[in-house]
A = this chain, B = another copy of it.
Amino acid sequence: MTRHVITRLAAVSRWEPGARERLQAAALDLFAEQGFAATTVPEIAARAGLTTRTFFRHFADKREVLFADDAEMPAMVAKLMAEAPDTAEPMELIVQGLRTMAETRFEGRRAALCHRRDLVRSDEGLRERDLRKRAALAEAVREGFLARGLDATRAALLAETCVTLVSVSIAEWLDRDDGRRLSGIVDEVLDRLRAELA
């Protein structure tokens, strides 16, 4: 009997679906409560009812748990760029792509992203990881343009500009507390960039 109960308890924590999501939620909670640096992986795992080892099977390291949701963005970028008609102009492609990304990957996550931004600002290691993610995104865009036959300089210039638009727009979107849509802000930021360069 006792053995059965123990087994069931173990089974619940062990096989309850959504281990990854539970780990993410636990991590977010703990980071909010005591900060990123002060939170240990064992603590996160314990709160999720899992072990340290399991944490590391889902996330490469402690920082990654904060960025996991955006891991697929480079692949999404590659797909969008590969599927676009050959006739699409580069900047048009960027604008369309940003609109799509805004609607499917960001809109609706504003509160979570705002929270993450505060955390990233609080820790040097997280800031660094954030930079790497941005660089990875730029690299995906650059490769997409190279695959479309653009020369190296043009591809790099467009990719960097695309990432600038993303990061500035998101910062603006998170700063404002009105209900504006991110895609609208992207349009506005692009207009402002055009105005600067006109």
Chain B residues contacting A172 (CB-CB under 8 Å) are 153
Give chain B residues whose Cβ lies under 8 Å from the Cβ of A167: 156, 160
70-105 of chain A: CB within 8 A of chain B: 90-91
Whether a CB of chain B sits under 8 angstroms from the CB of A131 is: yes
Can you add 20 more A-B contacts, CB < 8 Å, to A131-B131, A154-B192?
A91-B196, A91-B197, A128-B132, A152-B175, A153-B168, A153-B171, A153-B172, A156-B168, A157-B164, A157-B168, A157-B192, A157-B193, A158-B196, A160-B164, A160-B167, A161-B164, A164-B164, A193-B197, A194-B197, A194-B198
Chain A interface residues (CB < 8 Å from chain B): 90-91, 127-128, 131-132, 135, 152-154, 156-158, 160-161, 164, 167-168, 171-172, 175, 189, 192-194, 196-198
